[in-house]
Structure 1
């Protein structure tokens, strides 16, 4: 193997640039020519490859987003689109591909690997919802971004004696809501894995008010439903002024945390090492504090489950 390429796909996540930097520099260290693919799988089909060197990844470690850009590509879902991508790689003499993204990105990488392109995946999504790894790049930064926002909203909630419903991202996973809500001391945390009965949420708000609490914070994962609707029900049933804040894509941006930088650096370097060692068709991950690699089929087959002990702890502390 002489030439490898790296691309980012799906939603951006803080730490993707750090992973790109690690892939490029580790690849050069291992004697490889490294190329960046612009615009994900769309760029792969178009052969939009750029040679990467030390200078091209300078001063990107701290930047959010992805310098290689990311876009959806329906054409790549087709067999014809995949053949075009493989032909572009062959023409460029690139025999190894590292894909930074989520489960949808890994489905594409798995298809390429099955057709002879040595592919490795690096989990990059703030949702932390990929099986085969305890952690995905961007999650820690997103949680801290959400937590900072909730802390600031709590100041306002306390000043005006209001109830606040805060909707956070996470797709169909409740990790961001659980971690941010737990660390912010939210009165209720509503996640897809354990949807609280609205009656229980209302009861917690009313019990808190009877004890003299001046405000309540309810954190809702976007996979549960619309925060606006939940806030409306709470206000109607309790009579307390209820405001709703939807953090949205605010959580996907920003400079990656130290932990995200460390994990993306280690995963990026590990992906290169695996290709050099002749291992492909796998996703790099973190399990029990150790870097591991899991076959794409296994990572895509199983749904990652949330540790409900943390959820139960949060409920017991917010009585």
Structure 2
């Protein structure tokens, strides 16, 4: 992969990865021998972009793996965006591609290469409402806590978390996302390997209730809207929903934003001086006005 950093200039280009419009001095021009084309990428994304382009060939669809898939609505959205998909869940009623407990899932049954992983880890034990029931909380610093399991359910939750992280490290996807309502998970030492924690409120993406949620990821340009409903009760409205399936749903507008961030992997067209096709595409989903401000930053790095 050849790289050539542009000379200082006032000419502006669009970053192929994050769609930011910047001057050439803050961009790097890369050439991919795979695609035989050039692209502008933000300097901070340059190594990521080169790694991505060197791993893929121009005819191969990237693979999206959804763990704890349930109804598979995340994978379905990825499939519509041009990804191959595989779903994994322990519940046969959801008809996943692979029906298995993740703790028993072996690398050999999965595709040779996985590009994206989305994991919505079961949240019952980690949620704020159940912290006191399942965990012993110990303060280890300012706003830093350690949670020790005190029930069999908490031990099982840790077993599932450890298996998920093991799988991510084995598969080495380009990007991974671990989703869980705000609670004990953000304090678990298991999560120290993840570089970014993004905090979102579902009410900013069209739902009637906030449901404060953490999304742990290694994707630097996944920067959802910072929560705007800080004073709302995070569980108001949510607990009135009797269906566990409905409570587990992720807002379509947030899924759309996720797909926008990874779309370039499924769009092997890199015209010189322009972003990939999704960069200039207008959103057609019905959203609150705040959802359109997808450049808002929410970059809580995990220390």
Does the TM-score normalized on the shorter chain lie above 0.5? no
Q: Which has the larger radius of gyration?
A: 1
Instruction: Give the TM-score band, short-chain normalised.
Output: 0.3 to 0.5
**TM-score of the aligned structures, taking structure 1 as reference length:** 0.33
Between the two structures, name the one with larger relative contact order (CA 8 Å, sep ≥ 6).
1
The structure where strand makes up a greater share of residues is 2
**TM-score of the aligned structures, taking structure 2 as reference length:** 0.34
The structure where helix makes up a greater share of residues is 1
